[in-house]
Amino acid sequence: MRIVIAGGHGQIALRLERLLAARGDEVAGIIRKAEQADDLRQAGAEPVVLDLESASVDEVAERLRGADAAVFAAGAGPGSGATRKDTVDKAAAILFADAAVKAGVRRFVVVSSMGADPRHQGDEIFDVYLRAKGEADAYVRGLDALEWTILRPGRLTDDAGTGLVRLEARTGRGPIPRDDVAAVLAELVDTSATAGLTLELISGSAPVSVAVKSVAGN
């Protein structure tokens, strides 16, 4: 498979790139800064320098053409203000989805956030973030041309992955190592039977492949 990842230098994305490259997939990661390119190459991914905050749908679609799947893993990140939650976590996700439709890439996986909700109340930065993610998720869910899956991990940690997770429509809150999020994404990318599902993810007792298979087709 050829898989294009938006936010290719993110902590989850780099882990995902290593997993996909190791299993023989062709991976490209979209990055904003050219100096991040070497990190992607070391992960086995082709770096694609493109700023999703200023690119057009046509420009992004050109990078997506020929891909079998697209993963939106970009984020404004901690320390960013409300404006970038809107331009990255919402607008860039919508742009990437529109570009996937234009490029004919049907399989589309979104890394969202537990608690994402377009109706989320509050004026703190995290409130703005959850609203932005929720609005982006709602937009993607409205695109019939995409076989979308939305993944909402719990509290992210840098603990070593265990390969044991809980993946359901509703899990309740809990931690999840970034290693395990990447492993679940790698399974979701080529499990199109999970299309149309919004899934929450925390650490649990099911091996990743079993957890993904158990929700597929639901």
**Confidence (pLDDT) at 4:** 98
Taken in order 43, 48, 51, 55, the sign of the CA dihedral is: negative
Q: How many domains does the chain have?
A: 1
The tens digit of pLDDT for each residue in 47-100 reads: 999 999 999 999 999 999 999 999 999 987 777 788 888 899 999 999 999 999
Residue 79 confidence (pLDDT): 73
180: containing domain: 2-216
Catalytic residue among 72, 108, 129, 148: 129
Q: Which two tokens stand for residue 189?
A: 């990318």
The question of whether 129 is a catalytic residue gets the answer yes
This model's pTM is above 0.75: yes
Angstrom CA distances, 77 to 69, 74, 114, stand at 24, 9, 15
- Are 151 and 201 within 8 A, CB to CB? yes
Cα–Cα separations (whole angstroms), residue 15 to 55, 114, 170, 189: 25, 20, 25, 14
Provide the residue count of the chain.
218
CATH number at residue 165: 3.40.50.720
The confidence score (pLDDT) of residue 86 equals 87
Q: What token pair was written down for 124?
A: 């703190």
- Average pLDDT score over the chain: 96
Digitized pLDDT (tens) for each residue of the chain, 218 residues in all: 999 999 999 999 999 999 999 999 999 999 999 999 999 999 999 999 999 999 999 999 999 999 999 999 998 777 778 888 889 999 999 999 999 999 999 999 999 999 999 989 998 988 999 999 999 999 999 999 999 999 999 999 999 999 999 999 999 999 999 999 999 999 999 999 999 999 999 999 999 999 999 999 87
Strands 26-31 and 2-6: parallel
* Distance, CA of 66 to CA of 104 (rounded, Å): 8
Provide the pLDDT for residue 81. Answer: 80
Q: Among 143, 18, 27, 4, which residue's Cα sits nearest to residue 74?
A: 4
